């Protein structure tokens, strides 16, 4: 929770570091991200990299056939075999090369354990590889090194892991070449001026990074993607096709309002992450999608933060909610009312999206007589203006006394009238998004990169 006057303005160097660090980390951690993976191989990749089942069920493993079972997350395959499947020698132990073309060589190979009298191992196939994974027995019937975990996988997880292994060594990352990294940006819907501003800012920003050498000597190339024109099946199918054809390494600063489920499915299938996804309703159900990094916590969490903030000031505050009569805002009001510690509950002032200043003025006048300490404002931007106009007519000299603590939860920015009440207007983290964009825009306007 923050007062609108207390926001620290990020400088240009800070913002460049944020993008640079995010993409550098992504280049390192997504070494096996592949556009040509099947959905089954993608599930197997998650097991290989993390020791976690996509189903959410725990996977266990032991370091020998009689050892205690431990969570597989403590010893995922990638720890020893690395991202490429070749692995490196550590502590005098050389892990096997588990790239599929190496495992299935028709003439077999001699394991590199150095044990006397060891037989030439015959090739693996999709049947005997299961024994190596679950029982620690190789294709020659010999016991593998005790440092090789014996993974207890159910049938589906075993099939998924093997499907991933069959392509290990051949996967290629999408959207990246020796000289360029393609970065996708999903533009906001039904807001051409905002979309154009985003294009100008990111083009200037990426150009600035590229002038400094890019990232690992690769230039950043933005790929702007138009949102679906509607939520009809043909429109969503066309949007999915544009995502597949975009050939990007990652998405950044993308607006996914209304398409959260679609983007979740897409990222799970193709493993292309979204860094800084913008939506008021992020998907936070378990198991979490490890490919989407939300910048904001969502309206539900923001409402909870506001409630906690108010109650820290005074648990006995007299409060009311001014809520716009839409499904989204009404659900937030119900959540706020349910979680409020005051047993008498909150007074809810429900208003329509076409309410006039005079109509709202009469409702606020009745609320004013009850000497409220706090008003929670759960409305869209047009209603913000109506609210502050009504407050001013009730108390022209000190409208802030009526407003108290007001919260604007909206997918749009605050009105100038709202921002003028900096002393009494307390905001959720949604305002960071607004000021962040304004600050970036001011940087590049001052440089002359944006007219």
What's the chain look like in SS3? CEECCCCCCCCHHHHHHHHHHHHHHHHHHCCCCCCCCCHHHHHHHHHHHHCCCCCCCCCEEECCCCCCCEEHHHCCCHHHHCCCCCCCCECCECCCCCCHHHHCCCCCEECCCCCCCCCEECCCCCCHHHHHHHHCECCCCCECCCCCCEEECCHHHHHHHHHHHCCCCCCCCCCECCCEEEEEEECCCCCHHHHHHHHHHHHHHHHHHHHCCCECCEEEEEEEECCCCCCCHHHHHHHHHHHHHCCCCEEECCECCCCHHHHHHHHHHHCCCEEEEECCCCCCCCCCCCCEEECCCCHHHHHHHHHHHHHHHCCCCCEEEEEECCHHHHHHHHHHHHHCCCCCCCEEEEECCCCCHHHHHHHHHHHHHCCCCEEEEECCHHHHHHHHHHHHHHCCCCHHHHHEEECCCCCCCCCHHHHCCCCCEEECCHHHHHHHHHHHHHHHHHHCCCC
Residue 35 pLDDT exceeds 60: no
pLDDT of the residue at 15: 46
Least confident segment among 223-232, 265-274, 308-317, 337-346: 337-346
pLDDT of the residue at 425: 53
Tell me how far apart the alpha carbons of residues 345 and 69 are, in angstroms, rounded to a whole number. Answer: 50
pLDDT of the residue at 421: 52
- Residue 376: HSE in the Cβ half-sphere, 13 Å Cα cutoff: 34
Q: Phi and psi dihedrals of 44, rounded to 5?
A: -65, -35
Q: Which residues pair with 70 in a beta bridge?
A: 61
Least confident segment among 106-120, 338-352, 428-442: 428-442
pLDDT of the residue at 56: 84
pLDDT of the residue at 431: 36
Predicted TM-score (pTM) of the model is 0.62
Band (174; pLDDT cuts 50, 70, 90): confident
> What mean pLDDT is predicted for residues 217-235?
94
User: What do you get for the CA distance between the two ends of the chain, in Å?
Assistant: 34
Angle between the N-to-C axes of helices 128-135 and 155-165, in degrees from 0 to 180, rounded to the nearest 10: 110
- Residue 199: HSE in the Cβ half-sphere, 13 Å Cα cutoff: 13
Residue 243 pLDDT exceeds 90: yes
User: What are 427's two structure tokens?
Assistant: 């905001």
Tell me how far apart the alpha carbons of residues 11 and 439 are, in angstroms, rounded to a whole number. Answer: 8
| 296 vs 411 pLDDT, higher one | 296
Distances (CA, A) of 267 to 221, 231, 356: 20, 19, 44
In this structure, whether the domain defined by 300-428 belongs to CATH 3.40.50.2300 is answered with yes
Residue spans per domain, the chain:
11-30+174-296, 39-165, 300-428
Q: Phi and psi dihedrals of 277, rounded to 5?
A: -75, 135
Greatest CA span in the chain, whole angstroms? 96
User: What are 271's two structure tokens?
Assistant: 């493993």
Token look-up 């693996």 returns 124
Residue 423 pLDDT exceeds 80: no
Band (105; pLDDT cuts 50, 70, 90): confident
Is 11-30+174-296's fold the same as 300-428's?
yes
Query: How high does pLDDT run on average in the chain?
Result: 77
| Chain centroid offset of residue 4 CA | 25
**By percentage, how much of the chain surpasses pLDDT 70?**
74
| 221 vs 438 pLDDT, higher one | 221
pLDDT of the residue at 331: 80
Length in residues, the chain: 451
Residue 428 pLDDT exceeds 60: no
Least confident segment among 181-195, 218-232, 367-381: 367-381
> What mean pLDDT is predicted for residues 206-210?
93
Least confident segment among 40-49, 203-212, 264-273: 264-273
β-strand pairing of 180-186 with 219-225: parallel
Does residue 124 contact residue 132 with C-beta atoms inside 8 Å? yes
Residue 162 pLDDT exceeds 50: yes
pLDDT of the residue at 135: 93
pLDDT of the residue at 263: 94
Closest by CA to 258, choosing from 288, 223, 229, is 229
The CA R_g of the chain, rounded to the nearest whole Å, is 28
| 405 vs 47 pLDDT, higher one | 47
Closest by CA to 171, choosing from 64, 32, 66, is 32
| 365 vs 128 pLDDT, higher one | 128
Q: Which residues pair with 143 in a beta bridge?
A: 137
Tell me how far apart the alpha carbons of residues 382 and 405 are, in angstroms, rounded to a whole number. Answer: 19
- Fold of domain 11-30+174-296: Rossmann fold (3.40.50)
């Amino acid at each position: 929770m923050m007062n609108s006057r207390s926001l620290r303005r990020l400088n240009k160097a800070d913002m460049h570091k944020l993008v640079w660090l995010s993409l550098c980390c992504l280049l390192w951690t997504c070494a096996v991200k592949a556009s040509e993976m099947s959905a089954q191989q993608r599930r197997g990749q998650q097991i290989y990299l993390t020791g976690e089942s996509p189903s959410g069920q725990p996977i266990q493993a032991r370091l020998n056939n009689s050892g205690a079972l431990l969570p597989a997350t403590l010893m995922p395959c990638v720890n020893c075999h690395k991202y490429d499947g070749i692995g490196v020698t550590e502590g005098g132990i050389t892990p096997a090369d588990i790239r599929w073309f190496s495992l299935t060589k028709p003439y077999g190979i001699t394991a590199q354990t150095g044990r006397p009298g060891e037989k030439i191992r015959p090739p693996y196939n999709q049947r005997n590889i299961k024994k190596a994974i679950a029982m620690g027995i190789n294709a020659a019937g010999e016991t593998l090194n005790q440092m090789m975990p014996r993974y207890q996988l159910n049938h589906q997880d075993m099939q998924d892991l093997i499907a991933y292994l069959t392509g290990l060594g051949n996967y290629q990352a999408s959207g990246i070449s020796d000289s360029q990294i393609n970065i996708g940006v999903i533009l906001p819907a039904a807001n051409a001026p905002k979309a154009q501003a985003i294009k100008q800012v990111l083009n200037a920003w990426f150009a600035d990074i590229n002038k400094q050498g890019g990232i690992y000597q690769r230039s950043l190339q933005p790929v702007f993607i138009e949102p679906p024109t509607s939520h009809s099946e043909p429109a969503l199918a066309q949007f999915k096709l544009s995502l597949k054809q975009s050939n990007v390494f990652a998405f950044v600063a993308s607006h996914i309002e209304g398409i959260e489920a679609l983007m979740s499915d897409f990222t799970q299938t193709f493993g292309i992450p979204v860094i800084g996804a913008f939506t008021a309703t992020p998907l936070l159900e378990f198991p979490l999608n490890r490919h989407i990094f939300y910048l904001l916590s969502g309206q539900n969490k923001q409402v909870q933060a506001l409630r906690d903030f108010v109650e820290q000031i005074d648990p006995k505050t007299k409060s009311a909610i001014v809520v716009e009569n839409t499904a989204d805002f009404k659900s937030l009001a119900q959540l706020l009312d349910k979680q409020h510690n005051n047993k008498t509950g909150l007074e809810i002032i429900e208003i329509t999206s076409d309410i006039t200043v005079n109509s709202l003025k009469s409702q606020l006048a009745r609320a004013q007589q009850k000497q409220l300490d706090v008003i929670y404002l759960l409305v869209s931007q047009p209603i913000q203006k109506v609210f502050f106009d009504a407050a001013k007519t009730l108390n022209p000299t000190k409208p802030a006394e009526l407003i108290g603590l007001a919260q604007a939860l909206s997918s749009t920015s605050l009105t100038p009238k709202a921002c003028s009440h900096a002393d009494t207007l307390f905001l959720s983290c949604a305002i960071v998004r607004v000021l962040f964009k304004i600050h970036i825009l001011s940087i590049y306007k001052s440089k002359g990169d944006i007219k």
